A and B are shown apart, each in its own frame.
Chain A
Amino acid sequence: MVCVDEMDTAYLDNLDEYVNDEGRIVTYKWLSLTLGVHSNVAKQMLHHFVTQQRGDGDGGGGLTLTYLLTGVVEESDGGLRKVVKVVREAEVEAARAAINTVSSLHVYSVQKSALPDIGLLYGADYDVSKQHLTSTSSGIRCSEAQVSPSTSRLQHLVKEEVPTPLHKSVSKTNEKKEDKKHDAKLDSITTTTTSTTTVTSTTTGTISAAAKPTSQIASMFARQTKKLESCPSTAVKEEKAPTKAKSVGISAFFTKGPAQRKPDTSKLGSPTSGSKSDNTPCPNESKESLSTENAQPNLKGKEDSLVFGVEQEEDKEEVKGGGAGVGNTKTAKSKTSSSSSASKKRKSKGKNDEPKTKRTRIIQLSDSESDEEEERDEEDERLLLLPSPPPVRVNSDSEEEREKNLQPSKCPEEEVKLGMRKKIVDETFTNEAGYLVTKKVVKFVPLTDEEIKQEEEERKKKEQERRMKEEEEKKKSSPTVKSETSPSSGQRKKGGKEDNKKQAKIMSFFTKK
């Protein structure tokens, strides 16, 4: 029992205010949560308060008490039964007599009211108890279940292995997802238990789906389709759960190489598994685990999709004598010899360093002719020279995102800012001979809003077309797809199997590999 001298008198003043001034029913649980003290301390405070009030005389101000009595009762058949009772002060002695072994007896509540209905005690601390149960300040915590955007976590993991130029594209990619998931989280806060259950089931479904090996093309389509959705509703997530694993393939194209991705997946696997286990007790965090899983299967699929790119890239490099675009159809066009040579050098460097990422580039470049033509018209002003593919690709479902990721990888040493594009800009200067020379130089130029919008629209359209083609190619065997890629001068390849397929259709007439 706490010594009276040690007890803070301020707490007793608070109790006096609660009970006498406000006329509140003060239970030990309510007092513990309100004052932030241990429940045993709260019980002793109540007892001390009543003793003090009654010791002052005048019948203690008309205070009524209830006690919590626990004990073991021996039943008539010899069995033992644990009993927990809330009894009024007048009934305590009778209740104690009815119990064979009294385990504990302490003050449950203090109030001025005569308390005709003892059920009122339930409602007296209902709100504060419920708030305590749902409060995040509970002592029960799981470090892996912290409420933090999964994209930021993924970005953190990505940053450890990826050079800085990708930071812009990655962050921008993550921003979109983060916004969507943040909205989903906000909605989930007031979700009922049914929706919480839905999210939980979706989460488990995504985890199991991610573990299964799936075709790369289907994964590319699934992932892109998922990213195009505006709101990550739970229903949508349930639908996308089985296709999430399939989306691994596409993501592999636009993220790190498999050597780098393996540690990524391993890193993501642990937090994901941890969050999975915490799904049921943490409904708010289940959304986060979902987003974590979104990233994880994307990374896993990278390795599978990388298989396609190598040969195609090599062929493309040979074909594109004057072209510099790498990784994107938009980047495929180079209109200056200097830029093309530079791109070749970069390609060679990137090829040696990260062959798998180069595959990504090549596949992107292997777009259909029609797509390339459209892109040419629209992208005359843009030149994306990517000597090396982006080391890390995070949730790059949309073509736009891929292109953005690929753009900064062109110059790993440079930092790409959002909304900046490398454009062929006419630059006039005086050469050594003293002549004014106008050259087309690649410079980072901020895009206008219209251009950005146009880009986005184009990319979406291209994505859809690509998915259609990839689905068709998916049915064909992979070696067939690889062998069908052939060099074609001046052809801008968007990347993806559909381009290879079209090339195969055209070029297979002439050559076969």
Chain B
Amino acid sequence: MTVYSAVACSPSPAMDFSMSSDIVLELLEVAINLILYTREIYPQAVFQRRKKYNIPVQMCIHPGLQSYISECVGSLRPVLEKGEVQKVVLVVLSAQGTPVEKFIFEIVQHPTRPHDIKQDPHLTRMEEALRAFCLKLSISDSLLQPLPPDCSFVMQIQVPGHVPAALSSAPQHQEFPWVEAEKEQVEVSSPHLVPLKTLRTEVCKMQLYVEESASKTAPATSTSH
């Protein structure tokens, strides 16, 4: 597991990202589960249909996997509340440990407070945007090449330079620390970008695209020799 450490500091009073971080965290958790289900990284039996944003989504019910995902997402909260998360990346590793796909969530948070959203008081349009985001993610298999068997995944975040040092000293992150990712698990060989969805809401702007390795199935054939 390759992680970056995050700092737990109080958010600046001028910029309140609490509402933004809540919504982004929820969306990230749902999106990670959807990616794992759609890309068939884990068998379908591990997942159960749940309801989110008024649509059925597949959420993992395996305790180990579920706890890992929830802890990953939960540990992002302090960083998100300061608006310092630049990217959240789900890296699909092949059986050899090389990245074959990277689902990159590029996040730009807006310090929106609930009473600032006057045109969408019930967040119906925001929910509609989140729904479309999840739907597009679910049908991403039509845009990507199939994955080789026995793939695994890791979570990575990209933060500004000062964040890891502050995060490592935070006591609550000792149980689930973020460490600097290894270079071999960050870069995708001969990647090409596949844009999936851009989400624009009052609380955040999120772009989802995939760095797909052109030689996705090549390592399997190469190792056979």
Tell whether A and B belong to one assembly. Answer: yes
Query: Is B206 part of the contact surface with A, judged by Cβ < 8 Å?
Result: no
**Binary A-proximity of B134-164 (CB < 8 A = 1, otherwise 0):** 1100110111000000000000000000000
Q: Which of A114-122, A335-343, A412-420, A470-478 is the contact stretch?
A: A114-122
Q: Give the bracket for the number of chain B residues in contact with chain A.
A: 20 to 34
Q: How far is the CA of A192 from the CA of B138 in the complex (A)?
A: 30
**Binary B-proximity of A107-148 (CB < 8 A = 1, otherwise 0):** 000011111110110111011000000000000000000000
Nearest CB in chain B to that of A111: its residue: B139
Query: In the complex, which residues of chain B have a beta carbon less than 8 angstroms from the beta carbon of A116?
Result: 37-38, 40, 44, 141
Set B122, B124, B138: member contacting A117, Cβ < 8 A: B138
Query: Is A62 part of the contact surface with B, judged by Cβ < 8 Å?
Result: yes
Verify A117–B139 contact, CB threshold 8 A: no
Nearest CB in chain A to that of B40: its residue: A116
Verify A112–B49 contact, CB threshold 8 A: no
Query: In the complex, which residues of chain A have a beta carbon less than 8 angstroms from the beta carbon of B134?
Result: 123
Set B49, B54, B55, B122: member contacting A192, Cβ < 8 A: B122
Q: How far is the CA of A24 from the CA of B143 in the complex (A)?
A: 11
Min CB distance B218 to A, Å, is: 22
Q: How far is the CA of A62 from the CA of B143 in the complex (A)?
A: 11
Query: In the complex, which residues of chain B have a beta carbon less than 8 angstroms from the beta carbon of A122?
Result: 55-56
Min CB distance B216 to A, Å, is: 17
Q: Give the bracket for the number of chain A residues in contact with chain B.
A: 20 to 34
Set B44, B121, B122, B135: member contacting A120, Cβ < 8 A: B135
Verify A114–B141 contact, CB threshold 8 A: yes
Nearest CB in chain A to that of B196: its residue: A23
Query: In the complex, which residues of chain A have a beta carbon less than 8 angstroms from the beta carbon of B141?
Result: 113-114, 116
Min CB distance A84 to B, Å, is: 17
**Binary A-proximity of B34-58 (CB < 8 A = 1, otherwise 0):** 0001101000100001000011101
Min CB distance B179 to A, Å, is: 33
Query: In the complex, which residues of chain A have a beta carbon less than 8 angstroms from the beta carbon of B26?
Result: none
Verify B56–A23 contact, CB threshold 8 A: no
Verify A127–B131 contact, CB threshold 8 A: yes
Query: In the complex, which residues of chain B have a beta carbon less than 8 angstroms from the beta carbon of A124?
Result: 135
Query: In the complex, which residues of chain B have a beta carbon less than 8 angstroms from the beta carbon of A123?
Result: 54-56, 131, 134-135, 138
Query: Is A190 part of the contact surface with B, judged by Cβ < 8 Å?
Result: yes
Nearest CB in chain A to that of B34: its residue: A117
9 closest cross-chain pairs (CB), A and B: A123-B55, A119-B56, A113-B139, A112-B142, A113-B142, A23-B142, A120-B138, A123-B135, A127-B128
Q: List 21 A-B contacts (CB under 8 A).
A: A23-B142, A25-B135, A112-B139, A112-B142, A113-B138, A113-B139, A113-B142, A114-B141, A116-B37, A116-B44, A117-B37, A117-B49, A117-B58, A117-B138, A120-B56, A123-B54, A123-B56, A123-B135, A126-B54, A126-B131, A127-B132
Beyond A117-B49, A123-B56, 9 additional pairs, beta carbon < 8 A: A113-B138, A116-B38, A117-B37, A117-B58, A120-B138, A122-B56, A126-B55, A126-B131, A190-B124
